[in-house]
């Protein structure tokens, strides 16, 4: 039987709720991706920071202990849409691991914007 991890980054709580539902539904373990630097709750300020990080290709440092992926063969990665892609902290998370032999299933929450560069950004970050 395969072991599933739902790893997510959430700013407003929407992605957290979706991730919890997915984990409950498929019987997966849950892990929250957190960056050392907290993003402002103010949406405009947060978007400005996300844009700067994206343009500079910043990979923020992650906070907390990272999960051991050896015991998982399926990883669900959830995040909000920021600047038409995933938050740079998600790319930090993905770049930390070797996903050889694992299936990675992304999902995105958003408020009307689309995932223009998200698939390419994630593929480039997953080894």
Residue that has been written with the tokens 């997510």 in this structure: 8
Q: What is the DSSP letter of 1?
A: -
Mean pLDDT in residue range 1-5? 84
Cβ–Cβ under 8 Å, residues 78 and 108:
yes
Distance (Å, rounded) from C-alpha 118 to C-alpha 59?
15
Tens digits of residue pLDDT in 42-77: 988 988 998 999 999 999 999 999 999 999 999 999
List the one residue out of 125, 124, 45, 122 whose CA is nearest residue 84. 122
Distance (Å, rounded) from C-alpha 79 to C-alpha 112?
14
Looking at every residue in the chain, the average pLDDT score rounds to 89
Phi, psi of 36 (to 5 degrees): -60, -45
How many other CB atoms are found less than 10 A from the CB of residue 78?
26
Q: Does residue 85 have a pLDDT over 90?
A: no
Tens digits of residue pLDDT in 103-123: 999 998 876 665 566 667 777
């Amino acid at each position: 039987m395969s072991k599933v991890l739902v790893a997510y980054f959430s700013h407003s709580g929407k992605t957290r709720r979706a991730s919890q539902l997915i984990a409950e539904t498929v019987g997966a373990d849950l892990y929250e991706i957190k960056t050392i630097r907290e993003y402002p709750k103010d949406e405009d300020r947060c978007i400005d920071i996300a844009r700067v990080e994206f343009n500079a290709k910043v990979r923020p440092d992650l906070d907390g202990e990272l999960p051991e992926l050896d015991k998982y063969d399926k990883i669900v990665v959830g995040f909000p849409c920021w600047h038409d892609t995933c938050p740079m902290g998600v790319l930090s998370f993905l770049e930390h691991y070797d996903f050889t032999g694992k299936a990675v299933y992304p999902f995105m929450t958003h408020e009307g914007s689309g995932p223009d560069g998200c698939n390419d950004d994630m593929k480039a970050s997953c080894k």
